[in-house]
Amino acid sequence: MIIDGKAIAQEVRAEVKTRSAAFFERTGRRAGLAVVLIGEDPASLVYVRNKMTACEEVGINSETYRLPQAASQAEADALVSALACDPSVDGILVQLPLPAHLDAQEILARIPPEKDVDGFSAYSMGNLTLGLPASVACTPSGVMELLQRSGVTVRGKHAVVLGRSNIVGKPMALLLLAADATVTICHSKTTDLKSLCCTADILVAAVGKPRFVTADMVKEGAAVIDVGINRVDGKLCGDVKYAEAEPIVEAITPVPGGVGSVTTSVLVGHVVEAAMRKANA
């Protein structure tokens, strides 16, 4: 089975649109997302544009607040603090990566938990770790949507997560654990990576290295989720050698058209949920 991220993204987005319309009907206002964009990172500009388009599609008011590359910590902190107090803002997203001179955690800490639609703050990550209600990062949430909506059973399975970043690997592992998988997290210092991967019923690749996962790292009948987005010779590819792995596995996500497609739909869902919780709608 090739997991169709685009189709699932459309499905999720249609559901969010319905909830967004219901929110408008009940409260007379639209849910609001504030996006903070600092600097000129070309990939970030594209991601932010896609997020704004998705908001428009589902009936969310979105506004991008831009600061120059050289913005100071105080300016960035002040902007996020002001958005935190703005009643028209239900969700705040600080587009990462930030310029190197800025302390990202310091800025993220200013997002109140109820507006943290990206789930990157220490508070949200802490709650996720404790199994308490939490905002969860959109990419790992999207992976769980893909698994659930494609009928891949997680409970009791051995899931191997390649990568331990704060935005993908760690929250991914925690979500799989919460869904009753037995989870192994691998990283650049893991020894015998290949044999660990070969025991995975569910293999999530979030390494950021093109075609890193080869056929001899994949168990027959596994579900392989490729989070990687890499550009090689101007073309997008994932962290998995798709052509090699696809004939062996039970289910796999392509790149493009897999995880990346669903992330933005999950984000707009988080914004509407945050607005509903705030309004008790």
Q: Catalytic positions, please?
A: 51, 95, 118
The residue number with the shortest CB distance to ligand NDP is: 165
Q: Following DSSP, what letter does each residue of 91-108 receive, concatenated? A: EEEEPSSPPTTS-HHHHH
**Which CB sits closer to ligand NDP, 119 or 228?**
228
Compute the distance between CA of residue 117 and CA of residue 115 in angstroms, rounded to an integer.
6
Compute the distance between CA of residue 189 and CA of residue 94 in angstroms, rounded to an integer.
30
Among 59, 228, 254, 269, the residue binding ligand NDP under the rule CB under 6 A is: 228
Residue 135 in tokens: 């905002």
225, HSE (Cβ side, Cα atoms, 13 Å): 35
By CB under 6 A, residue 186 contacts ligand NDP: yes
By CB under 6 A, residue 5 contacts ligand NDP: no
Q: Which amino acid is at 276?
A: M
Cβ atoms 195, 189 nearer than 8 A: no
Among 259, 266, 267, 276, the residue binding ligand NDP under the rule CB under 6 A is: 259
Which residues 6+ apart lie within 8 Å of 210 measured at CB? 228, 230, 232, 237, 238, 239
Q: Give how far the C-alpha of residue 55 lies from the chain's centroid of Cα atoms, to the nearest Å.
A: 16
Residues 63-92 that bind ligand NDP (CB under 6 A): none
235-237/230-232 β-pairing? antiparallel
Full strand arrangement of the beta sheet holding 91-94: 61-67, 32-38, 91-94
Among 44, 61, 64, 165, the residue binding ligand NDP under the rule CB under 6 A is: 165
Q: Which stretch binds ligand NDP (CB under 6 A): 59-67, 76-84, 148-156, 226-234?
A: 226-234
By CB under 6 A, residue 140 contacts ligand NDP: no
**Largest alpha-carbon pair distance within the chain?**
57
Q: Give how far the C-alpha of residue 173 lies from the chain's centroid of Cα atoms, to the nearest Å.
A: 13
By CB under 6 A, residue 18 contacts ligand NDP: no
Q: Which stretch binds ligand NDP (CB under 6 A): 103-111, 153-161, 207-215, 242-250?
A: 207-215
Among 136, 162, 217, 274, the residue binding ligand NDP under the rule CB under 6 A is: 162
Q: Report in angstroms how near the CB of residue 209 gets to ligand NDP at its nearest.
A: 6
By CB under 6 A, the count of residues binding ligand NDP is: 25
Q: Where are any strands of DSSP class E within 103-201?
A: 158-162, 182-186
Among 208, 246, 248, 278, the residue binding ligand NDP under the rule CB under 6 A is: 208
Q: Report in angstroms how near the CB of residue 86 gets to ligand NDP at its nearest.
A: 27
Among 206, 217, 240, 252, the residue binding ligand NDP under the rule CB under 6 A is: 206
Among 167, 176, 266, 275, the residue binding ligand NDP under the rule CB under 6 A is: 167
Phi, then psi, of 264 in degrees rounded to 5: -70, -35
Q: Which amino acid is at 15?
A: E
**Which CB sits closer to ligand NDP, 38 or 160?**
160
Please give the residue ranges that form the binding site for ligand NDP (CB under 6 A): 139, 162-165, 167-169, 186-190, 193, 206-209, 227-230, 259-260, 263
